[in-house]
Amino acid sequence: MVERRFDVVVVGAGPAGSTTALRLARAGFSVALLDAQRFPRFKPCGEFMSPEVLPMLAELGVRDELACAGAREVRGMLLHGHGRVVQGRFIDVGGAQAPFDHGWAVRRELFDATLAGCARKAGVELLEGHRVTGLLRGGAGDVEGVECSSPAREKLTLRARFVVGADGTRSRVATELGVRRETPWLRKVALVTRYSDVPWGDRAEVHLLERGFFAVAPVEGGDVSLNLVLDAAEYERAGLPRDELLEEWLRRTPALGERILRGRRIDPVRGTGAMAMSTTRQTFDGAALVGDASGYVDPITGEGIFFALKGAELLTESLSRALHAGRTDARALQPYLAGRRREIAPRIAFSLLLQRGLRHPALVGAAFRLLAARPRLVDTLVSVTGDYVPLRELARPSVWWNALGTPRGAA
Ligand X SMILES: Cc1cc2nc3c(=O)[nH]c(=O)nc-3n(C[C@H](O)[C@H](O)[C@H](O)COP(=O)(O)OP(=O)(O)OC[C@H]3O[C@@H](n4cnc5c(N)ncnc54)[C@H](O)[C@@H]3O)c2cc1C
User: Which spans of this chain sit near ligand X (rule: CB under 6 A)?
Assistant: 11-17, 34-37, 43-49, 131-132, 166-168, 172, 190, 192, 227, 272, 275, 291-293, 296, 299, 302-306, 308
Q: In angstroms, what is the minimal distance from the CB of 242 to ligand X?
A: 13
**Would you say 181 and 277 are in contact if contact means Cβ atoms under 8 Å apart?**
yes
Q: In angstroms, what is the minimal distance from the CB of 404 to ligand X?
A: 28
Q: In angstroms, what is the minimal distance from the CB of 408 to ligand X?
A: 28
3-state secondary structure of 200: coil
Nearer to ligand X, 34 or 71 (CB): 34
Nearer to ligand X, 167 or 285 (CB): 167
Q: Count of CB atoms within 10 A of residue 338's CB? A: 12
**Would you say 332 and 385 are in contact if contact means Cβ atoms under 8 Å apart?**
no
Non-local CB neighbours of 306 within 8 Å, separated by 6+ positions: 49, 50, 52, 53, 56, 387
Nearer to ligand X, 74 or 86 (CB): 74
Q: In angstroms, what is the minimal distance from the CB of 307 to ligand X?
A: 6
Beta bridge partners of 135: 146
- The torsion angles phi and psi of 209, rounded to 5 degrees, stand at -115, 175
Q: β-pairing, 48-49 with 223-231? A: unpaired
Nearer to ligand X, 51 or 168 (CB): 168
- The torsion angles phi and psi of 140, rounded to 5 degrees, stand at -90, 10
**C-alpha radius of gyration, the chain, whole number:** 21
**Would you say 282 and 289 are in contact if contact means Cβ atoms under 8 Å apart?**
yes
Nearer to ligand X, 192 or 399 (CB): 192
Q: In angstroms, what is the minimal distance from the CB of 373 to ligand X?
A: 28
Q: In angstroms, what is the minimal distance from the CB of 360 to ligand X?
A: 23
Residues 401, 395: Cα–Cα separation, whole Å: 11
Q: In angstroms, what is the minimal distance from the CB of 387 to ligand X?
A: 9
- The torsion angles phi and psi of 308, rounded to 5 degrees, stand at -65, -50
Residues 150, 133: Cα–Cα separation, whole Å: 11
Instruction: Give the residue closest to ligand X by C-beta.
Output: 304
Nearer to ligand X, 30 or 133 (CB): 133
Q: In angstroms, what is the minimal distance from the CB of 27 to ligand X?
A: 19
Nearer to ligand X, 42 or 400 (CB): 42
Nearer to ligand X, 30 or 37 (CB): 37
Residues 190, 227: Cα–Cα separation, whole Å: 6
Q: In angstroms, what is the minimal distance from the CB of 247 to ligand X?
A: 18
Between vectors from CA 147 to CA 310 and to CA 128, what angle results, nearest 5°? Answer: 60
Nearer to ligand X, 104 or 284 (CB): 104
**Would you say 162 and 7 are in contact if contact means Cβ atoms under 8 Å apart?**
yes
Tally of residues, the chain = 411
Q: What letter does residue 329 receive in the DSSP assignment?
A: S
- Helix residue ranges, H only, 44-107: 53-60, 63-68
